[in-house]
Amino acid sequence: MINEITVEGLVIRTWSVIGDNFYRLACYRDPGLPPRPRGTLQDTAELIALNVPDGALGRPRCVMRDDAIQVLAFLQCGYIEETLAVFTRGARSPALKLLDGYDPRRLVRTQSAYEILASRIVRAERKPRPSTGARCSGHAKPD
């Protein structure tokens, strides 16, 4: 079976976790694709997270915020476990009042999540690089 996708988008955030690099991409629909569901903003981006496992793409490569990149990747399904306390903190909601005996730090939900794992990254648009103080992250094969 083929499990390969191509995604193009603008890097809006980068971060690392235990040697893996992650990128948040803003992906805009091409005009020929079906429109978004009625009642949603038509020109907003689809936000996706891209995972580049440590060393997966060879030598280090500078990927920075506002870079337009094209990614050859594949999908992988995993599971996320999250406590109610963590979920509400991330949602910036007020403190929960639960029935006696229930602790939001012990109530856990499990959710399936799909990851996009990069197998190749190509910078789609070049922009001038600052000569000093620039913070780069990521790994990629040469263009």
High-pLDDT (> 90) share of the chain, %: 8
pLDDT in tens, 31-89: 788 877 776 666 788 888 888 887 667 555 678 888 899 989 998 887 878 887 777 77
User: Which one has a higher pLDDT value, 56 or 9?
Assistant: 9
pLDDT, position 125: 62
pLDDT, position 10: 93
Q: Is-contact 63 136, C-beta < 8 A?
A: yes
Token pair, residue 87, equals 């979920």
132: exposed, middle or buried (Cβ count in 10 Å: 0-12, 13-18, 19+): exposed
Q: Hey, what domains does the chain have and what are their CATH numbers?
A: 5-79+113-139 (2.40.50.140)
Q: What is the mean pLDDT of residues 4-18?
A: 90
